[in-house]
Amino acid sequence: MFVDQSTDASRSEPGSPVFLEVTGIHKRFGGVHALRGVGFVIERGQIYHLLGENGCGKSTLIKIISGAQPPDEGEIRIEGRAYTALTPIASLAAGIETVYQDLSLIPNLTVAENVGLTEQLVTARGSLMRPLRQTELNATAARALAVVKLPTTAEFLATPVGNLPLAVRQLVAIARAIATQAKLVIMDEPTTSLTRREVDNLIRVVADLQRDKVAVLFVTHKLDECYSIGGQAIVFRDGQCVAQGPIENYSKTQLGHLMTGRDIDASRYRHAAASDETLLQLQGLCCRSYFRDVSFTLNKGEILGITGLMDSGRNELAKTLAGVMAASAGTLSLRGQPLKLSCPADSIRNGIGYVPEDRLGEGLFLDKPILSNMVAAILDKLRTAFGTLDHPKARSVAQELVDELHIATPNVDLPVQSLSGGNQQRVLIARWLTIQPQLLVLHGPTVGVDVGSKDTIYKAIQALAGRGLGVILISDDLPELLQNADRILVMRDGLVQHEFSADVAQEDDLYRAMLGTEKGTRSV
């Protein structure tokens, strides 16, 4: 709701003009006080990083700024105009564009329609009662896609977004923000599914936006990227803004303490030695055109890291081990017994658990209770004599896993979507622990997870390996692999090209191997 049109020059700091100012923002959900008097200023052409644990209020604040939710108290000023609340169209019209973590793309619409639709909706003040101007739509989309280095061909513009890989969809969502010629672009975990090369491209895009006097607010957990981009850090904890200042003024340790209230150890988590007993063996495994001749062994209690660019074959290898994709050639054995994994049920039956990269789209039943999500893989074991679910037994299983994985919830009957990202991820890991797995395949286990939850998940992974589970950790988060794995395999062009010992490898060694510019690394 619009309050007044006056400007208050006394609020502006020397330097860039103030674009957005929030003051005294409060938001409550039932008994939860999500935001407690939050206030800060965003200037034109500046870069900001909104940091904090999952559940600290970051997402709630973004929804208030973008018009998705109203605040209970407080004021929002955009270029001097004061609002008590915004609508999504009013926020867009004022020059605020948000790229949400779930991307908010429409899968059955084309790339061009997804990128250019917002601009035409703002022009029409949100009205859907007018036809799309396709020529203009394509021209707008092509300009924005070129900025993020995506194809601008007619074929790509006409491709349904639902047919694209997750990393490409991420860039399409960013292109949509650019297409509106926004004055403030909010990016919620924008590099979740991007490789380092694509992140470097995004950093160049952000530099271009900054030169055009566009402010950018990153909501992120990846501190290395924050330091690479530069700008201001805005740190949240428990619904309050506890610090703001130049990112280079804070060390990782200081930021971790500000976000969590405790010290986070950034050293290696992996100290235990794996068994000499072979658990898993792949020999010449192939999957159509995605990967070929993949051979390696995994010992009992070993953590094997696998990385590579998006088109390296690593994602398809994960899905093959999960039974989602079938191998076209080669052999696979578990504890010396040959395996044929033609569907996910085959993997589950053989004690292989799989945590997918996209927990929201492929892993969780968001509107279902935490309990239901946890026991989904063992429903047959929890049936009564009448074929119904044995609720006391299911609740006992779920509560034991809540305690073991430190899942922050007062009640396992709450919908899983009520949890923070880190707790949702632990629920997904818990599901596969119910099958008493021999092998756990973790694909991007800390995607979109804050530094405190990462620490908890990493310690859980180490404990599982200590119990004798074999763990395959597939990730493009190179520090994650170096901190947690025994060995790291690097895939490129569908082949395992290099193997590194994680306790001595360097991040740059892995990155050069991913790109094919390595020097002196050991080939396999």
Q: Which residues pair with 492 in a beta bridge?
A: 495
DSSP bridge pairs for 3: none
377 and 392 belong to one structural domain: yes
CA distance 69 to 352: 41
One domain, residues 190 and 153: yes
In terms of residue numbers, what domain contains 488? Answer: 268-351+438-446+467-524
The answer to whether residue 456 is domain-embedded is no
Which token pair is 293? 């001749």
462: in domain: no
411 with 393, same domain: the answer is yes
C-alpha to C-alpha distance for 145 and 162, rounded to whole angstroms = 17
Based on the fold, state whether residues 428 and 442 are members of the same structural domain: no
Q: What are phi and psi of 269, to 5 degrees?
A: -85, -25
- Whether 460 maps to a domain, the answer reads no
How far is 384 from 451, CA to CA, in rounded Å? 41
**Residue 349: strand, helix, or coil:** helix
**Cβ count near 134 (within 10 Å):** 13
Do 444 and 474 meet the contact criterion of CB atoms below 8 Å apart?
yes
**CATH code at 176?**
3.40.50.300
The total number of structural domains in the chain stands at 3
Q: Which residues lie below 8 Å from residue 220, measured CB to CB, with a gap of 6+?
A: 49, 50, 51, 187, 189, 190, 191, 226
Residue 458 lies inside a defined structural domain of this protein: no
Do both 381 and 370 map to the same domain? yes
Per-residue pLDDT of the chain (524 residues; tens, 9 = 90+): 434 333 333 333 446 799 999 999 999 987 678 899 999 999 999 999 999 876 788 888 999 999 999 999 999 999 999 998 899 889 988 999 888 776 778 899 999 999 988 776 666 565 555 666 788 888 989 998 998 889 999 999 999 998 988 778 888 988 888 887 789 999 887 776 677 777 887 888 888 889 889 999 998 877 888 998 999 999 998 899 999 999 999 998 888 889 888 776 667 899 888 889 999 999 999 999 999 999 999 999 999 999 998 789 999 999 999 999 999 999 999 999 999 999 999 999 999 999 998 887 888 999 999 999 999 999 999 999 888 999 999 999 999 999 999 998 989 999 998 887 788 999 999 999 999 999 999 998 887 777 778 888 999 999 999 999 999 999 988 889 999 999 999 999 999 999 999 999 988 889 889 888 765 444 45
Q: What letter represents residue 43's amino acid?
A: E
Same domain, 223 and 328: no
* 107 plus 238 within the same structural domain: yes
Pairwise CA distance, residues 62 & 98, whole Å: 8
**Which amino acid makes up residue 379?**
L
Written as six digits, the tokens of 393 are 């037994």
**Together in a domain, 158 and 230:** yes
The three-state secondary structure class of 241 is: strand
